[in-house]
Amino acid sequence: MSANTIRLNQAMSHFDGHDTLWLFGYGSLIYKADFPFLERKPARIHNWSRRFWQGSHDHRGTPEQPGRVVTLIAAPGKVCEGMAYLITPEEFAHLDFREKNGYLRVLTDIEFRGGGCAQGVAYVADQNNSAFLGPASELEIARHIVRSEGPSGKNSDYLLQLAEALRGLDEVDEHVFAIERHLLELTASPL
């Protein structure tokens, strides 16, 4: 599958005719909501884990030197915490463009932290997209992030802002926090 998913996402008609729908964000969509929304609530989805396994050609890296950003990996029994936004379907135009580097709209059940649930959409970049990088050790991922930068800024800012946003949600994500620890060690100035 091509790394540009705009066309594929535009063909997804699940929420056509709906006035509103819930979007689940688990990466930059937690801390960078650059779209109008009607409501925002901390939420979780089941059977997925957040992993820095997706390449970024357009935001935190370049096609020649992709950065590393998060995607969701199927993980039975695991929970991924994030932020849910109530949006109108018109926002898909902006979101499909923003998430075009390999992410597809996937239907998911969203459980709100305050209680209740709804079906909604998350953007997931699976292993079939050509920008997918796959697993590496958390130290290797930190080394990769330190040297990456793209049109949206430094890859390290993406990681640090995500870690901060997760702390704001009282979420302990060992994968993200281990990469953050390595990155801070790698960038600490020598005494």
Give the footprint of ligand SIN on this chain (CB under 6 A): 25-29, 69-70, 99, 123
Q: How wide is the angle at C-alpha 26 spanned by C-alphas 74 and 42, nearest 5°?
A: 115
Closer Cβ to ligand SIN, 17 or 164, answer by number: 164
> Least distance to ligand SIN from the beta carbon of 59, Å?
8
C-alpha pair distances (Å), 110 with each of 16, 82, 100, 131, 158: 19, 10, 22, 27, 24
Which residue, judged by CB position, is nearest to ligand SIN in the bound state?
A: 27
Neighbouring C-beta atoms of residue 176, cutoff 10 Å = 23
> Least distance to ligand SIN from the beta carbon of 166, Å?
12
Closer Cβ to ligand SIN, 22 or 123, answer by number: 123
Query: In degrees rounded to 5, what are phi and psi of residue 2?
Result: -60, 155
> Least distance to ligand SIN from the beta carbon of 30, Å?
6
Closer Cβ to ligand SIN, 142 or 159, answer by number: 159
> Least distance to ligand SIN from the beta carbon of 62, Å?
17
Catalytically annotated residues: 99
Closer Cβ to ligand SIN, 63 or 185, answer by number: 63
**Lookup result for tokens 């925002």:** 40
Cα–Cα distance for residue pair 30/169, rounded to 1 Å: 10
Contact 73, 103 (CB under 8 A): no
